[in-house]
Amino acid sequence: MRWRKPAQLLVYRPFPGQPPRIPEQEPNRGSDCRGVRRTLSGMGVRRSVVDYGLARRATLASVLAGNTTVADVCDAHPYLLRAAKFHGEATDIACPICRRTKLTHVTYVYGDELGQYAGRVKQGPELAEMASEYGEFRVYVVEVCQSCAWNHLASSYVLGTGEPRTRRSRRARAGE
């Protein structure tokens, strides 16, 4: 049998100059808190945020270096331009290509729970309402210039309550 050292008391020093703390002295903040169910419900914050700023900078650098033509990057689909015109949200950011007009953000939503509403353009107030109604869906924000047709994916993130949505039967919906 091998000799073991006696168990040492774990002491954490979070930052220099602060008093040491012992983990047993702190209240339990884990998922096994008594009487409190820890879920993501009511969570109105963005999760899994992806910013495509580096890809945007690389594309613009490629255009400025002459490796990519302006026609290759200013190729927005007519439906995207129409969505920007009628459903987009104006920004204060000038177009990096033409520098004539301000960019417009068009926000698309996708998710399994959305059903027929997947792939539609939504605005801020609608997103807040959807975030409390659906379990999880992905939001894509595209920046569009309506004059030169520049478009680039600006960011994407996940919204929702974090809980799967319960499906109701057809009879329950018909009875309402």
- DSSP per-residue string spanning 92-123: EEEPTTT-SSEEEEEEEEE-GGGGGGTTEEE-
The pTM of the full predicted model, rounded to 2 decimals, is 0.68
Domain boundaries, the chain: 47-164
The full 3-state SS of 13-44, as one line of letters, equals CCCCCCCCECHHHCCCCCCCCCCCCCCCCCCC
Range 52-59 average pLDDT: 94
Q: Is the pLDDT of residue 40 over 50?
A: no
In this prediction, residue 52 carries a pLDDT of 94
In this prediction, residue 11 carries a pLDDT of 47
Q: Is the pLDDT of residue 97 over 90?
A: yes
60 phi-psi bin (left φ>0, alpha ψ -120 to 50, beta other): alpha
Range 84-89 average pLDDT: 94
**How far apart, in whole angstroms, are the C-alpha atoms of residue 102 and residue 93?**
5
Q: Is the pLDDT of residue 48 over 80?
A: yes
